[in-house]
Amino acid sequence: MGAAKSKWNFLPFEPGLVGGHCIGVDPFYLAHLSEQVGHHPEIILAGRKINDGMAAFTAGRIHDRLSGLLGDANQGRVLVLGVAFKENVSDLRNTKVVDLINALAAQGHAVDVHDALADAEEAERFFGLALLGRLPKGQAYDCVVGAVSHDDYAAFDGEALAALVKPGGLVVDLKGMWRDVVLGADIGRMEF
């Protein structure tokens, strides 16, 4: 990606669950207008359908990987880091991370959520989520999911991640923020 970034018109798109208003809602306005002028906006609607299903797809991949680590009968304790719709904002509108949390919980996982910036009262009111007030101490989780690359989370090193995940656990990096972080040999890694 470094070489691509040297090009003047390169757009550095990053992986992750796409929420917010512009991409999450505005394409439906365009699709509606397209239909009014007699065009069926298949590409726009197909893109929305794929994006709307990514949280469930991602949760399924995480579940499968955890089942392999824990055994089919065991459900894991999961910590999701970040619930805002994008990094370094507190805005929860149209966040797709909630869909991921709900899908993991529906598969039987105990899910805790921390967001360094989001308002806990809003998260409770809009989504019924009880955000952790602070990051837990001790290796309590079978899986840690980096869902939003707030600066606080992107700054984690291998030691900070290892302090959250059990030996033999899994670190899931949805945003590619920990690509260069060295993890212990006993911690699995999953990137999207």
CA 116 vs CA 67, 88, 185: distances in Å: 29, 9, 28
Q: Which of these, 91, 97, 54, 94, lies nearest to 79 by C-alpha position?
A: 97
* Residue 40 identity (one-letter amino acid): H
Residues 124 and 130 sit within 8 Å (Cβ to Cβ): yes
Domains, the chain, with CATH or none: 55-191 (3.40.50.720)
SS3 58: helix
Q: What is the pLDDT of residues 140-179, one digit of tens each?
A: 899 999 999 999 999 999 999 999 999 999 999 999 999 9
* Mean pLDDT within 107-114: 96
CB proximity list for 11: less than 8 A, separation 6 or greater = none
Q: Is the pLDDT of residue 24 over 70?
A: no
The size of the chain, in residues, is: 192
How far is Cα 83 from Cα 133, in angstroms, rounded to an integer?
A: 13
Q: Enumerate the H helices of the chain as residue ranges.
A: 2-5, 26-36, 42-70, 97-106, 120-127, 151-154, 158-162
Which residues are marked as active site? Answer: 22
CA distances from 63 to 13, 100, 142, 154 (A): 26, 11, 11, 24
The amino acid that residue 133 corresponds to is G
d(CA 123, CA 139): 25
What is the model's pLDDT at position 41? Answer: 85
pTM (2 d.p.): 0.86
The pair of structure tokens assigned to 10 is: 């390169």
For the segment 111-135, the average pLDDT, to the nearest whole number, is 96
Q: What confidence score (pLDDT) does residue 20 get?
A: 62
